Amino acid sequence: MKTLEDFNFEMKKALIRVDFNVPLDEDFNVTDTNRIEAAKPSIIKVLEDGGSAVLMSHLGRPKGERNPDFSLEHICKTVSEVIGVQVKFVNDCVGEVAEQAVANLQAGEVLLLENLRFHSSETIGDATFAVQLSKLGDIYINDAFGTAHRAHASTTVVAKYFGENKCFGYLLAKEIESIEKVMQTGEKPVLAILGGAKVSSKITIIENILDKVDHLIIGGGMTYTFVKAQGGEVGDSICEDDKMPLALDILKQAKEKGVQVHIPVDVLAADDFSNDANTQVVDVDKIPDGWQGLDAGPRTLENFKEVILKSKTILWNGPVGVFEMENFAKGTIGVGNFIDESTQGGAFSLVGGGDSVAAVKQFGFQDKVSYVSTGGGAMLESLEGKTLPGIAAILG
């Protein structure tokens, strides 16, 4: 696996695919700089070697048309502040204007290209567009895990035109290494905590990881499909009736593979999907009609704690309750605390997937786990066992 450490960038121009698809407020100010900060080490390595960096990214979904609302010029000032270097900007990502801006770039300088998705050729993976991009650097670096599952011109096709002069950036290398730790090389026992609303969205992940884990915690809305499938009463809780046979099959497969499955035994139930609803703690298989389970109960959290603290490798994908409402966040916070304790004790913990990452940030756990993945869809496809096009392109 080629990384930045395999290259010296002195007098070289590095074309770096970054993921600067950052949130902006109504005045076009960046409201979360995490993705820019994540790319900083790779950019600094190039500059410190005596090279220059040409950054390419998308922002939003402009659908192949120039839309000033999605111009990367809005973020140029913030990128300069985060990196600590005055970043130049050019108002296209291919063609004469971009090529001239790159030609003028001196060692130690950084150039940000305009939004790749102003060209529809980017998302369809057009080879001619990829060739134009390839003219803008001597070495290609992919450091955008968030788009590694897309076979776009800038993430996949462009790599073909760099021969051996291509590598992973620090961020993407770390993502690959973290997923490998969970899926292949992690110290046992290995635990996967899968939450979220629906079994259907996690089927392929569950089926793929059953060969890799020793323990599987099922939480969140998925719980009730498993419970009802086994004859339990789930009241008005979210439940995919058509997935009940699948839930039973997953339990059967887990048993055959020697994987211990841990399902909540009690829940905090509410008489309405509201933070102000009346609540009661009930057995997970005895939820009354008119009530719905919205968080893990106290006995469940004790069970989860025991499993988490004895695990040496932990994957967390999905909250175990409706953490967006304060009164139903206790379970997700509890799981975060247990993972923190386990990590301090030497376990490796990886958090990935939109809602779990949001929860980790909301409750301040991002520095208490080993790694928080930056790519939602890419992370999930990796866990499903798929080879991501953006990664294959560098390895190929």
Instruction: Provide the total of helices (H) and of strands (E) in the chain, helices listed first.
Output: 14, 17
Per-residue model confidence (pLDDT) at position 375: 78
> Which structure tokens are listed for 166?
């291509």
Q: Annotated catalytic residue: which of 88, 135, 198, 305? A: 198
252 and 335, same structural domain? yes
Q: How far, rounded to the nearest angstrom, does the alpha carbon of residue 103 sit from its chain's CA centroid?
A: 35
pLDDT, tens digit, 9 for 90 and up, residues 31-56: 989 899 999 999 999 999 999 999 99
Residue 23 lies in a domain: yes
25 labelled ligand-binding? no
Q: Kindly report, residue by residue over 67-108, the tens digit of the pLDDT.
A: 999 999 999 999 999 999 999 999 999 999 999 999 999 999
User: Could you read off the pLDDT of 217-256 as tens digits, one per residue?
Assistant: 999 999 999 999 999 999 999 999 999 999 999 999 999 9
Evaluate whether residue 198 is within a structural domain: yes
Residue 136 within any structural domain of the chain: yes
Determine the pLDDT at residue 354. Answer: 65
User: Does residue 113 sit within a domain?
Assistant: yes
Torsion of CA 354, 359, 361, 365, to 10 degrees: -120
Q: What pLDDT score does 381 carry? A: 87
> Do the Cβ atoms of 326 and 353 come closer than 8 Å?
no
- The Cα 130–Cα 137 span in angstroms is 12
Percentage of residues in the chain having pLDDT higher than 90: 88
Number of residues written out for the chain: 396
* Same domain for 331 and 260: yes
Residue 392 lies in a domain: no
CB count within 10 Å of CB 106 equals 6
pLDDT in tens, 140-190: 999 999 899 999 999 999 999 999 999 999 999 999 999 999 988 999 999
Instruction: Establish whether 188 is an annotated binding residue.
Output: no
d(CA 228, CA 244): 7
389, part of any domain: no
Predicted confidence (pLDDT) at residue 114 exceeds the cutoff of 90? yes
> At which of 115, 136, 168 does a domain end?
168
Q: What is the pLDDT of residue 30?
A: 96
Q: What's the mean pLDDT when you consider all of the chain?
A: 95
Sheet containing 348-351: order of strands: 260-262, 215-218, 190-194, 313-317, 348-351, 371-372
Residue 352 annotated as binding site: no
Nearest alpha carbon to residue 153 among 74, 62, 57, 76: 57
Q: Does residue 161 sit in the same domain as residue 236?
A: no
Question: Does the annotation place 17 within a ligand binding site?
Answer: no
Q: Which of 135, 168, 201 is the last residue of a domain?
A: 168
Q: What band does 386 get if pLDDT is binned at 50, 70 and 90?
A: confident
Residue 21 marked ligand-binding: yes
Residue 149 annotated in ligand binding: no
Q: Is residue 333 part of a domain?
A: yes
**The pair of three-digit structure tokens given for residue 159, joined into one six-digit string:** 């790599």
| Sole residue written with tokens 């996949």 | 156
For residues 291 and 378, membership in a common domain is answered with yes
Domain check: are 38 and 148 in the same one? yes
The CATH number covering residue 163 comes to 3.40.50.1260
Contact by Cβ (8 Å): 335, 320: yes
Q: Are residues 266 and 358 in the same domain?
A: yes
Question: Is residue 111 scored above 80 in pLDDT?
Answer: yes
The pLDDT value recorded for residue 358 is: 87
Domain end marker among 126, 150, 168: 168
Does 52 share its domain with 119? yes
- 354: annotated active-site residue: yes
Instruction: Provide the pLDDT confidence category of residue 204 given band limits of 50, 70 and 90.
Output: confident
pLDDT at 191: 97
8 is in an annotated binding site: no
Active site residue 40: no
Is the omega angle on the peptide bond into residue 41 within 30 degrees of 0, that is, cis? no
Q: Are residues 202 and 303 in the same domain?
A: yes
Farthest CA pair distance, the chain: 71
CB atoms within 10 A of CB 135: 14
Per residue in 358-373, pLDDT (tens digit) is 899 899 999 999 999 8
Which member of 35, 45, 181, 368 is catalytic? 35
Indicate whether 81 and 129 sit together in one domain. yes
The boundaries of the domain holding residue 26 are: 4-168
57 is in an annotated binding site: no
63 is in an annotated binding site: no
Domain count for the chain: 2
Backbone angles phi, psi at 184, to 5 degrees: -135, -50
Q: Do both 117 and 197 map to the same domain? A: no
Same domain (yes/no): 141, 239: no
127 shares its domain with 223: no
Residue 35 falls in the annotated catalytic set:
yes
384 falls in which pLDDT band (50, 70, 90)? Answer: confident
Given a contact cutoff of 8 angstroms between Cβ atoms, the answer to whether 113 and 58 are in contact is no
pLDDT above 70: percentage of residues in the chain = 100
Average pLDDT score over residue span 390-394: 95
Q: Is 35 within any annotated ligand binding site?
A: yes
Closest CA to 325 of 370, 390, 275, 375: 275
Among the listed residues 88, 108, 135, 377, the single catalytic one is 377
Residue 181 lies in a domain: yes
Question: Which one of the listed residues 77, 135, 286, 354 is annotated catalytic?
Answer: 354
377 given a catalytic annotation: yes
